[in-house]
Amino acid sequence: MIKKGNLYYPSEEFKKNAWINNKAIYKKAERNPVKFWEDLAKELVWFKKWNKGFVHKPPYFQWFVNGKINITQNALDRNLEKRKDKPALIWEPEPIKEKARVFTYNELFKEVNKFANALKKLGVKKGDRVGIYLPMIPEVIIAMLACARIGAVHVVVFSAFSSRALNIRLQDTKAKILITADGYYRKGKVIDLKKNADQGIKKTEVKKVVVVKRANNPVKMKMGRDLWWQELVEKESDKCEPVPMDSEDLLFILYTSGSTGKPKGCVHTCGGYTVQAYATAKWIFDLKDDDVFWSTADVGWITGHTYSCYGPLLSGATFVIFEGLPVWPEPDRWADVIEKYGVTTFYTAPTAVRMFEKYGVKFLKGHKFDTLQIIASVGEPIDEAAWKWYFREIGKTKRPLLDTWWQTETGGILITSLPGIGPFKPCFTGLPFPGLKFEILGEKGKKLGPNKEGNLVLLPPFNPGLLRAVYKNPKKYLKTYWTDYGKRIYFTSDRAYRDKNGLIRVVGRADDVMKVAGHRLTTGEMESAIALDKDIIECAVVGIDDEIKGQAPIAFVVSKVKKSQDQIIKQVVFQLRKEIGPIATPKQVYSVKDLPKTRSGKIMRRILRKLFTGEELGDLSTLANSGSVAEIKKIVEK
Ligand code: PRX
């Protein structure tokens, strides 16, 4: 990398070999963004070409109107001619002694077709929603692709989410089929996933449960309802024609934390998402035929959908998925995986980087990372120390470090400097992808200039992969994204500013969403979960800074009955794990007598947060119960 002032640029050699290395692309895309995306769309296979690139009826819009496409034809069939015997998917199991499974493009194609045929036999039709509650094993990729092949809408639920979280998603989508596994490995232990799945399907419309045998743990199979994956696919033909899908047909629904207790189902469609996943994977990660791409994200999150499944396949690359934790059983397991498979592109979250850093460089001894070409980060702001460590120790100061900004809603990366162009700057996520119009707005929608922090918004024509709806909730769609600045401006809910070079730095959320280890949680959903405990009258959750996880939740609860602090902590933790999952485990729980409130009864979370930041608490006289603050302060300090 070449350093100029505080900016980094790719080396001449890197530049020469990159797909995109001329910054004229930005001007070209800006002149006609719709045509820009249409040109990219033309690189894919369509059953029928679209007749209009972009149509806008605020707050709704469409891309590639009347086009017919199937994402799997592009991800699989299209690669068969040139890459039939090339590895598409490499699976690294958690147990060190277990053998990896590798699928060539042809093998993956066949497995997807077999499972697609099995789904058809189970009665799954175009438009039906299919729940997928699987760990990071090859079958999760096969299941998603099989759904897409036959036009079913996949609804992937993170395998570490609780049965209750699964239940909410199955109820909302009315899925009739659930695909799950007996269990999976986590830190050497087998997690009984089937038990959770059985709980999660209660009071839903699920009629059939397909179970992958993964961990061989004993599970109860209900006759007539539960079927083993392996037995189902055995008999199926490996040929299944892809169903032509309208550009605007649903491809998948993925739930994410909303501003209230209930998660919202982000709806992604076939045409726009495919183009976006393809273009961003190819240009941003500069994927070529000899690349081995590893994104550490679980497919339960959007990063897993777009870059641990669709993006690399659409680019004809080889990609790795990993069942376990990157730091288990040894802190350098992730480094072993990179070297074992010759990973060229490594994509992870700042939390993981901080964790690697915490273990120390002694674990990097003996790891050369010779094959790496690009390293990248996602999910939360990356602080300067973590950026520099990642760049120095893993990037060896010669590889582009891409800080990629995007959201479940956007379907693919929207802001990051391109590796063959740059520039890269610590803490700055970079330039918007060509063709995108971002602005930073202040009070009353005033456009802000360099170094002024405001709300980050996206202007028409947006990006093809942006969500089209909140599933079955048009009000929420309108209110969350298209109300703050009107129906023509997409509000990201993030705070950001630009430097004088136009590089964007995303500072954090403008709403009550927390990013805990890169995972999205809201104070609202955590509070709703805690409030289900009948002993608790009131609660408030706030996110505070955390050295490793970026942010961590802290809960304050008021209990109806007198209980020990330990007992209350136990109950709150239990409740959060039951309703959401282990990712919602709070860093600390405080049992208090009263929460600070305004006279109209609104809980002042801002004040609670300040107790941890050391900031001035400000004027408390407007509170209805100002004495509560001093009391809470005492408890926190203790
Ligand atoms: O606040 C931003 C933060 O993560 C939010 C989106 O979270 P989620 O839907 O879970 O998707 C995460 C993975 C794409 C954003 O609104 N965020 C994401 N990437 C970055 C980021 N914040 C700062 N820098 C990033 N690179």
CATH no. for residue 621? 3.30.300.30
* Residue nearest ligand 1's atom 11 by CA: 407
Pocket of ligand 1 contains residue 522 by CB under 6 Å: no
- Asked whether the predicted pLDDT for residue 622 surpasses 90, the reply is no
Ligand 1 centroid – CA 340 distance (Å): 30
Confidence of residue 304 (pLDDT cuts 50, 70, 90): very high
* Residue nearest ligand 1's atom 22 by CA: 380
Which of 259, 351, 378, 380 should be mutated for ligand 1, with most atoms under 8 A from CB?
Answer: 380
Residue 260's pLDDT is 67
Pocket of ligand 1 contains residue 404 by CB under 6 Å: yes
Confidence of residue 506 (pLDDT cuts 50, 70, 90): very high
In angstroms, the CA 160 to CA 582 distance is 7
Between the CA of residue 271 and those of 115, 125, 473, 547, what are the distances in Å?
23, 19, 22, 40
User: Is residue 619 included in any domain, yes or no?
Assistant: yes
The number of residues making up the chain comes to 638
User: Is residue 35 included in any domain, yes or no?
Assistant: no
User: Is residue 67 included in any domain, yes or no?
Assistant: no
Ligand 1 centroid – CA 410 distance (Å): 10
Residue 257's pLDDT is 86
| Residue pLDDT, tens place only, 464-473 | 999 999 999 9
User: Is residue 1 included in any domain, yes or no?
Assistant: no
Phi, psi angles (nearest 5°) of residue 608: -60, -40
Ligand 1 centroid – CA 379 distance (Å): 4
Residue 638's pLDDT is 83
Helix axes 163-173, 565-579, angle to 10 degrees: 40
Instruction: Count the Cβ atoms, other than its own, within 10 Å of residue 416.
Output: 27
Which of 351, 467, 494 should be mutated for ligand 1, with most atoms under 8 A from CB?
Answer: 494
User: Is residue 115 included in any domain, yes or no?
Assistant: no
Ligand 1 centroid – CA 513 distance (Å): 10
What is the domain count for the chain? 1
- Asked whether the predicted pLDDT for residue 621 surpasses 90, the reply is no
Measured from the Cα of 519, ligand 1's closest atom is 10
| CA atoms lying within 13 Å on the CB side of residue 91 | 22
Pocket of ligand 1 contains residue 457 by CB under 6 Å: no
Pocket of ligand 1 contains residue 139 by CB under 6 Å: no
Mean pLDDT of 111-124: 98
User: Is residue 378 included in any domain, yes or no?
Assistant: no
For residue 539, what is the enclosing H or E element? strand 536-546
Which of 306, 308, 405 should be mutated for ligand 1, with most atoms under 8 A from CB?
Answer: 405
Ligand 1 centroid – CA 303 distance (Å): 10
For residue 109, what is the enclosing H or E element? helix 105-121
Q: Which domain holds residue 612?
A: 517-637
Q: Is 493 left (phi over 0), alpha (psi -120 to 50) or beta?
A: left
* Residue nearest ligand 1's atom 7 by CA: 407
User: Is residue 609 included in any domain, yes or no?
Assistant: yes
The letter for the amino acid at 581 is G
- Asked whether the predicted pLDDT for residue 281 surpasses 90, the reply is yes
Ligand 1 centroid – CA 491 distance (Å): 14
Positive or negative, the CA dihedral 473, 476, 480, 485 is positive
Note the Cα 387 to chain centre separation in Å.
20
DSSP, collapsed to helix, strand or coil, labels residue 151 as: coil
* Residue nearest ligand 1's atom 4 by CA: 379
Confidence of residue 259 (pLDDT cuts 50, 70, 90): low
User: Is residue 570 included in any domain, yes or no?
Assistant: yes
| Residue pLDDT, tens place only, 34-91 | 999 999 999 999 999 999 999 999 999 999 999 999 999 999 999 999 999 999 999 9
